[in-house]
Amino acid sequence: MPTVRDVAERAGVSIATVSFVLNGSKPVTPATRQRVEAAVAELGYHRNELARALASRKTRILALAHPTAEHRFGSSTTDFITSAARAARARGYHLVLWPIDTDGQEIHDLLGQGLVDGVVLMEVKLDDPRVDALAASGTPYALIGRTRDPAGLVHVDIDFDRSVADALDHLQDLGHREIAFVTAERPGYGPKVRSEAAYRRLCAERGLEPLLLECAPTAPAGQGLMPRLVERVTAVMLMNEYAAFGVLTGLARAGLGVPDDLSVLSFTSPDMGALADPPLTTSHSPGAELGSLGVHALIDQLEGIEPSAPRLVPCTLVPGQSTARRP
Q: What does the binding site for DNA look like in residue numbers (CB under 7 A)? A: 1, 3-5, 12-20, 22-23, 25-29, 31-33, 45, 47-48, 51-52, 54-57
Residue 81 near a second copy by CB under 8 A: yes
Looking at 74-82, 120-128, 157-165, 232-240, which segment touches a second copy (CB under 8 A)? Answer: 74-82
Nearer residue to DNA within complex by CB, 16 or 219: 16
Contact call for residues 37 and 21 (beta carbons, < 8 A): yes
275 binds a second copy (CB under 8 A): yes
Our finding on whether 26 is near a second copy (CB under 8 A) is no
Would you say 11 or 64 has its CB closer to DNA?
Answer: 11
Binding partner selected for residue 16 from DNA, a second copy, none, CB under the kind-specific 5 to 8 Å limit: DNA
Q: Phi/psi at 119 (nearest 5 deg)?
A: -130, 135
- When the beta carbons of 3 and 172 are compared against DNA, the nearer one is 3
Give whole-number Cα distances, 49 to 3, 22, 205, 235, in Å.
11, 12, 55, 55
Does position 35 interact with a second copy (CB under 8 A)? The reply is no
Angstrom distance (rounded) from CA 95 to CA 114: 14
Which partner, a second copy, DNA, none, binds residue 313 by CB below 5 to 8 Å per kind?
A: none
Size of the residue set binding a second copy (CB under 8 A)? 52
From the list 114, 188, 307, 319, which residue makes contact with a second copy (rule: CB under 8 A)?
A: 114
Nearer to a second copy, 248 or 312 (CB): 248
308: left (phi over 0), alpha (psi -120 to 50) or beta: left
CB-wise, 14 or 78, nearer to DNA?
Answer: 14
Q: Does 199 bind a second copy (CB under 8 A)?
A: no
Q: Pick from 136, 218, 254, 307: which binds a second copy (CB under 8 A)?
A: 218
Q: Report the residue number, 95 or 179, with the smaller CB distance to a second copy.
A: 95
Q: Residue 56, interface with a second copy (CB under 8 A)?
A: no
With respect to DNA, which residue has the nearer C-beta, 108 or 206?
Answer: 108
Residues engaged in binding a second copy (CB under 8 A): 1, 44, 46-51, 53-54, 59, 61, 64, 66, 68, 71, 75, 77-78, 81-82, 84-86, 89, 94-99, 109, 112-115, 218-220, 242, 245-246, 248-249, 252, 271-272, 274-277, 279
